[in-house]
Amino acid sequence: MKTTFRQLLSTAALVVFSALSIPASGANASPNILLLVADDLGYSDIGAFGSEIATPHIDSLVSQGRMITDFYSAPSCSPTRAMLLTGNDQHLAGLGLMAEVRKRRFPGNVPVLPGYEGVLRHQVVTLAQLLNDAGYKTILSGKWHLGKSEDLQPQNQGFEQSWTVQEGGSANFKQDEMGLFPNYPATFLHNGEPLELPEDFNATEYYTDKLIASTEEARNEGRPFFALAAYTAPHWPLQAPDRYLEMYRGKYDEGYQAIADARIGRMRELGLLPEDFPERAVLDESPAWETLSAAEQQRSAREMEVYAAMVTQLDTEIGRLVEHLKRTGQYEDTFIMFMSDNGPESKDYDRRVGDWIAENFDNSLDNLGRKNSFVTYPKAWAQVSAQPFRGYKQTIQEGGIRVPAIIHYPAKLAPGGPNEVFMSVRDVMPTLLELASVNPPGIEYQGRSVYPVQGRSRWSALHDASVQDQEAGVLGWEVDGSAALRKGPLKLVYTVKEADTGWQLYDLAQDPGERNNLAEERPAELSRLLTEWQHYAQVNNIALNDDLTPALPLIETTSKAGTGQ
């Protein structure tokens, strides 16, 4: 029997609504909120998390705030953004499929099940809407990727001011071809109106300029701000100004294995990994560096140089934004959170769209990373970024969904060491609402039925490490037929790539790299987590096959969404 929208509302309300009656917990009534979101940044790509890449400004947020080492996103960008802004699983919010993936997998506008539309649904309320209702000046600068129709654009989803690219990204310089694929535009809008880019456009600098101007407007108006800095760095195409490219010339000539091993060593020194964690990083399906020709090594190293340059530029611009807050007296009472939207990208789009690239871009070695080049992030280097985990973007392994996260709030949060609270991107909305003393909407908002917020405020556990999480959270993922569920240290995994293996079981406390499948050794725990997964899928209207693996979300092929029957 198919679960109805009203049944889902009632079930979800019983489960989560009582947990979201939120006292202010001592936080200022209306602090400023700055949410910094990197695009496709890996877990170990920040200096404080073990990287060789220079990120002094982000590292400063860590040293003066807290890093969150057990923070989860969705496997890809727009699903994470939907969860971030609604506090709900991506399938309830409408992003069970990304719009681009839906178009590729099911061409011809084939009807899909509710929740897989690829755009934000009308049955959710955004964080921006609630904060704007409470008097906040709400600002978005950067990537939107949640729907291009006018009703779904950010100015109609709670943002007073928005400077956005509507699609999944763009080139980082102004050039003839700005899109990510052939026949895939990059549409820039300001509050819904076409935006003319300056000739010297650089995406990371431009989005920072708009954030600075808008937060200054909020100060002049005497209003708190909520600013979503949705940067497109370091998403491909990888490009950065020359001064950043020059910083990394020759820095990666020793190859990906050596760099990955060095990151593991630093993470052990920082206490982010146990001392007995293996010294040699595992890089799946990557040829040994020494087997590459000299030309292949040179080009591969150059691609990583560009990626590192892009990350350092992002760090510099975040530093410029934070310095503005200090200079204008807004810094102390601004809650800052930094996160990545998913793990590092790994697909070699150069081969998929090779003719288009050859016709439109200059990918000579000297021009890589500069204007009119088109560089993606190779799989081997993506696994370096994801260390110490397995997988990368668009997978349900830890490397695709466990991301770096940092919180910083001088007025209320004393600096501290790594915080291991189990937290996901859908917990961000209720946490920020608690800080702002704003209640979630329940099951109705402005006369329409909506899903109640599933996420839980994590503020108490974030600002006080002695607070123990009395409720073991359960979190699930589904992407393109693969699925996972985590409860406590145990993680249930099914991947299309390893379908013959069936359901897998990992103990992340002992095996964060997901190398030792315990399914045969611990069948009772596997069975228990499968029951949890079936329930999670039912609550979130995820289509399942009889064996509880994800089903095709097509209306004409299934009527079993979330039932497993």
Mean predicted confidence (pLDDT) in 490-499: 97
**HEC profile for 486-555?**
EECCEEEEECCCCHHHCCEEEECCCCCCCCCCCCCCCHHHHHHHHHHHHHHHHHCCCEECCCCCECCCEC
| Average pLDDT over all residues of the chain | 92
Residue 91 has pLDDT above 80, yes or no: yes
Using CA atoms, how far apart are residues 398 and 150, in angstroms rounded to an integer?
36
**Residue 75: closest CA among 481, 421, 488:** 481
Using CA atoms, how far apart are residues 422 and 315, in angstroms rounded to an integer?
26
Residue 21 has pLDDT above 60, yes or no: no
| Residues 384/276, Cβ–Cβ less than 8 Å | no
Residue 27 has pLDDT above 70, yes or no: no
Is the backbone of residue 331 left (phi > 0), alpha (psi -120 to 50) or beta? alpha
- 25: buried, middle or exposed (CB in 10 Å: 19+, 13-18, 0-12)? middle
> Measured between alpha carbons, how far is residue 11 from residues 21, 204, 296, 452 in Å?
17, 42, 55, 10
Residue 564 has pLDDT above 50, yes or no: no
Which pair of structure tokens corresponds to residue 61?
A: 């947020």
Using CA atoms, how far apart are residues 509 and 69, in angstroms rounded to an integer?
13
Secondary structure class of 454 (helix, strand, coil): coil
Residue 561 has pLDDT above 60, yes or no: no
Using CA atoms, how far apart are residues 210 and 198, in angstroms rounded to an integer?
13
Using CA atoms, how far apart are residues 438 and 445, in angstroms rounded to an integer?
14
| Residues 282/513, Cβ–Cβ less than 8 Å | yes
Confidence class for position 146, pLDDT limits 50, 70, 90: very high
Percent of the chain at pLDDT exceeding 70: 91
Q: How many CB atoms lie within 10 A of CB 524?
A: 7
- For 145-150, which contacts have Cβ atoms below 8 Å and span 24 or more sequence positions? 145/77, 145/78, 145/81, 146/78, 146/81, 146/82, 146/85, 146/95, 146/119, 146/120, 147/99, 147/119, 147/120, 148/119, 148/187, 149/119, 150/192
- The interaxial angle of helices 256-269 and 379-386, nearest 10 deg, is 0
What pLDDT, on a 0 to 100 scale, did the predictor assign at position 463? 81
- The interaxial angle of helices 294-327 and 56-63, nearest 10 deg, is 50
- Ramachandran angles phi, psi of 482, nearest 5°: -95, 155
Q: Indicate which residues carry an active-site annotation.
A: 77, 145
Q: What residue ranges define each of the domains in the chain, with the CATH number in brackets?
A: 24-88+124-463 (3.40.720.10)
Residue 143 has pLDDT above 60, yes or no: yes
Using CA atoms, how far apart are residues 206 and 306, in angstroms rounded to an integer?
19
Mean predicted confidence (pLDDT) in 56-79: 97
Contacts of 55 (CB under 8 A, 6+ apart): 45, 46, 47, 48, 311, 312, 315
Residue 488 has pLDDT above 50, yes or no: yes
What pLDDT, on a 0 to 100 scale, did the predictor assign at position 565? 39
114-118, 228-232, 352-356, range with the lowest pLDDT? 352-356
- Ramachandran angles phi, psi of 477, nearest 5°: -140, 150
Secondary structure class of 240 (helix, strand, coil): coil
Mean predicted confidence (pLDDT) in 97-111: 90
| Residues 123/8, Cβ–Cβ less than 8 Å | no
Please provide the DSSP assignment of 343-386 as one string. S-----HHHHTHHHHHHH----GGGTTSTT------HHHHHHHH
pTM of the model: 0.93
pLDDT in tens, 353-379: 888 999 999 999 999 999 999 999 999
Using CA atoms, how far apart are residues 357 and 192, in angstroms rounded to an integer?
30
**HEC profile for 165-205?**
ECCCCCCCECCCCCCCECCECCCEEECCEECCCCCCCEHHH
Confidence class for position 20, pLDDT limits 50, 70, 90: very low
190-199, 284-293, 305-314, 549-558, range with the lowest pLDDT? 549-558
H/E element holding 101?
helix 99-105
- The interaxial angle of helices 256-269 and 294-327, nearest 10 deg, is 40
What pLDDT, on a 0 to 100 scale, did the predictor assign at position 109? 84
Confidence class for position 549, pLDDT limits 50, 70, 90: very high
What pLDDT, on a 0 to 100 scale, did the predictor assign at position 469? 60
Residue 13 has pLDDT above 50, yes or no: no
What pLDDT, on a 0 to 100 scale, did the predictor assign at position 528? 98
Which pair of structure tokens corresponds to residue 391?
A: 């997988």
Residue 4 has pLDDT above 70, yes or no: no
Mean predicted confidence (pLDDT) in 175-202: 96
138 beta partners: 226
What pLDDT, on a 0 to 100 scale, did the predictor assign at position 558? 47
> Measured between alpha carbons, how far is residue 399 from residues 169, 215, 527 in Å?
21, 34, 25
Using CA atoms, how far apart are residues 235 and 393, in angstroms rounded to an integer?
11
Q: Is the dihedral of CA 97, 103, 104, 106 positive or negative?
A: positive
Secondary structure class of 227 (helix, strand, coil): strand
Residue 3 has pLDDT above 90, yes or no: no
Confidence class for position 269, pLDDT limits 50, 70, 90: very high
Mean predicted confidence (pLDDT) in 496-514: 96
Residue 79 has pLDDT above 50, yes or no: yes
Which pair of structure tokens corresponds to residue 472?
A: 């073991």
How would you classify the pairing of strands 137-143 and 444-445?
unpaired
